[in-house]
Amino acid sequence: MGLIYLFTGNGKGKTEAGIGMAVRARGQGNRVVFIQFMKGLPTGEIEPLKELGVEVYRFGTENFVDFKNPSKEDVELAHKGLEKARELAKEKPFLIVLDEINVAVAANLIDTEEVLDFLKTIPDETNVLLTGRYAKKELLDAADLVTEMKEIKHYFKKGVPAKEGIDY
Amino acid sequence: MGLIYLFTGNGKGKTEAGIGMAVRARGQGNRVVFIQFMKGLPTGEIEPLKELGVEVYRFGTENFVDFKNPSKEDVELAHKGLEKARELAKEKPFLIVLDEINVAVAANLIDTEEVLDFLKTIPDETNVLLTGRYAKKELLDAADLVTEMKEIKHYFKKGVPAKEGIDY
């Protein structure tokens, strides 16, 4: 049976672990779908994932989402992302990564119920990974495995800027 | 300046995040070295990482290490792993991942001091990631970024076995 994985918390490593799961699953010869929510800016992982045959889809603009007042475009893009997941789930891939979907829910782009409904319909052959901070309790409850990536120490706090090749 | 990253904790996602960091760094065109300690059994990530041009080295047997009484072979292999890291660091790669090195230290295969000495010699151009549970306080202190991957829920606890493509 397919399992539901969830990585949340305020520390570095959630998306990175999603990339790692995608790579490992591909390495065992499986079909992998990687859907990124709220991300429009280029990040280093996209091209290598595609090179390995991971099916990558991105639904986001280059701007930050205003949590208190998200734009219509942000809401539409997030729904398109979930719709893409629904559509591809029917083809029973081994793994679907929904990167940053927890944040998309927290930012009110998608309802928790919509994600729960999606999770109820995934085929037995398919595993799903939800990543992003601020995961709702209902999503934690729905997951078979939850890891909290907890920030113990981060150089951002010392004023060191984001590094290309590491943070994006 | 190169930074030191450390992923520890009892939850899933440490090695996966290391793979993700390796992939992202490669995607930005950087040289990446990925050294695995205590791992001899095949895992899904190795071939795709190599395919992307990540330089992968593994130092482990197929057997579990006895923490209380590690074999001479385990100790030697771990030292060879650290020696390889020292040797390649001189060539100033962008990222060196030392996967499971925290466990190798906890299992008394390598001394904390040996790792600290290595970290003191890394060139400014090189970032280092240490992964694995049971990280020693001295290593946490030496790192610029630390994330604790904390297990909130794991299906292993319900008796669900490790899954190919997910756990290895």
* Exposed/middle/buried for residue B113 (C-beta within 10 Å: 0-12, 13-18, 19+): exposed
For residue A115, pLDDT over 90 is answered with yes
For residue B127, pLDDT over 80 is answered with yes
- What's the mean pLDDT in A128-138? 98
* Pairing, β B145-153 against β A145-153: antiparallel
- What's the mean pLDDT in A86-114? 98
For residue B158, pLDDT over 90 is answered with no
**Partner B, chain A 87-146, Cβ-Cβ below 8 Å:** 94-95, 127, 140, 143-146
**Cβ A44–B51 below 8 Å, yes or no?**
no
Nearest CA to A109 out of A22, A13, A39, A5 is that of A39
Mutual orientation of helices B72-89 and B112-121 as an angle, nearest 10°? 10
Task: Pick B147's closest partner by Cβ from A52, A152, A158.
Answer: A152
Q: What is the pLDDT of residues B50-65, one digit of tens each?
A: 999 999 999 998 888 8
Count of beta carbons in the 10 Å neighbourhood of residue A31: 18
Q: Which contiguous run of DSSP H or E holds residue B48?
A: helix B46-51
**Cβ A19–B15 below 8 Å, yes or no?**
no
Partners of residue A3 in chain B, C-beta under 8 Å? 155, 160, 163, 166
In chain B, where are the structural domains located? Answer: 4-158
A164 to chain B, any CB pair closer than 8 A? The answer is: yes
Q: Which residues pair with A33 in a beta bridge?
A: A55, A96
What was the pLDDT predicted at A63?
A: 85
**Cβ B150–A148 below 8 Å, yes or no?**
yes
**Partner A, chain B 53-92, Cβ-Cβ below 8 Å:** none
**A4-158 — its CATH code?**
3.40.50.300
- The angle subtended at Cα A154 by Cα A148 and Cα A155, nearest 5°, is 160
Interface test with chain A among B6, B49, B166, B168, by most A beta carbons within 10 Å:
B166
For residue A32, pLDDT over 90 is answered with yes
What was the pLDDT predicted at B37?
A: 97
For residue A1, pLDDT over 80 is answered with no
- What's the mean pLDDT in A115-142? 97
Instruction: Please state whether the predicted TM-score (pTM) of the whole model is above 0.90.
Output: yes
**Cβ B149–A144 below 8 Å, yes or no?**
no
Find how far residue A59's CA is from the centre of its chain.
11
CA distance B75 to chain A (A): 27
Q: What is the pLDDT of residues B4-23, one digit of tens each?
A: 999 999 999 999 999 999 99
- Rounded alpha-carbon distances, angstroms, from residue A107 to A67, A75, A134, A140, B18: 5, 9, 9, 17, 28
